[in-house]
Chains A and B, each alone.
Chain A
């Protein structure tokens, strides 16, 4: 009886973990050894996440029946509007990058 484990790897400290692939193993201990050998032996990762595929909840339905384009930001510059809104709210100095601008 084997299980599939999904492996995520972090290339450098502080970077997001990204899906690397999967390993098939009889249990978590085997999976750990296999993940270590497949995704860590060349010093290509500083950390791995090992997740049983059975523990992953997949969501794959996103209905958009009425074609609500305005929910998407493509082709719509938000920067200036965001700045105006922040000025009104008095939170301009809390915005990301505000200290650089100051």
Chain B
């Protein structure tokens, strides 16, 4: 598999799995408006995953659905940050913000790619990600505005920080640290990143649930 396809699958898997995790809030988010907004963001992420899988599928001679659902859990290339099941709102928002911040750094690099298809899809994704970032940033402001919110956010960020670093390649990690520290107004610990490919136990559970319906039907079934 080419580096290009590997890169496409890494990002596609991040977007698919995060979209899945975020959609776990559908129907049970803290209030109705947030439920709709967060579900909509989840749908966008899955839309991005589909576009990226389609691009990778051309090279691999397969389809987006097969890439999304027919691989085994250990073949996914997503970062551990998106795999974690975090049904607690402060952690969900912390993860959302850390991911969007890392994603912005990654997309900026991809938009400057020599490969016109990669640059094009990155630019397209970024036009939607702008609103995801607006959503994440307003929540961060809100949480930072009270002592209770700040301490919950800090606790969640500290817990997720090694995984957040793992979303990006080595060379981009210092920029994520710089942005996150500046935003939170404090230093973050010097830890080893939990890299891509080291899967959390939660991924296998998610995969079971995500592919259950597809596996129940004969291969090639039309939906």
- The answer to whether B36 touches A33 (Cβ under 8 A) is no
The reply to whether B37 and A29 contact each other, CB–CB distance below 8 Å, is no
Counting chain A residues whose Cβ lies within 8 A of the other chain, the interface size class is: 10 to 19
| B32 close to chain A: CB less than 8 A | yes
Q: Are B32 and A37 in contact (CB under 8 A)?
A: no
B-chain residues with CB within 8 Å of residue A37 when the two chains form the complex: 33, 36-37, 40-41
Say yes or no: is A79 at the interface (Cβ < 8 Å to chain B). Answer: no
* Chain B residues engaging chain A, CB cutoff 8 angstroms: 31-34, 36-37, 40-41, 131, 134-135, 138, 141-142
Q: Which residue of B lies closest to A35 (CB)?
A: B33
Where chain A touches its partner, the secondary structure class is helix
Please give the distance in Å from A99's CB to the nearest CB on chain B: 43
Provide the A6-33 mask, 1 if CB < 8 A to any CB of B, else 0: 0000000000000000011110011001
The reply to whether A29 and B138 contact each other, CB–CB distance below 8 Å, is: yes
**Which residues of A line the B interface, CB within 8 A?**
23-26, 29-30, 33-34, 36-38, 41
Q: Which residue of B33, B138, B141, B142 contacts A24 across the interface (Cβ within 8 Å)?
A: B33
| 3 closest A-B pairs by CB | A34-B33, A37-B37, A37-B40
A33:B31 contact, CB within 8 angstroms:
no
Instruction: List, sorted by A's number, 28 A–B pairs whose CB atoms are closer than 8 Å.
Output: A23-B33, A24-B31, A24-B32, A24-B33, A25-B33, A26-B142, A29-B134, A29-B138, A29-B141, A30-B33, A30-B138, A30-B142, A33-B37, A33-B131, A33-B134, A33-B135, A34-B33, A34-B34, A34-B36, A34-B37, A36-B131, A37-B33, A37-B36, A37-B40, A37-B41, A38-B36, A38-B37, A41-B40
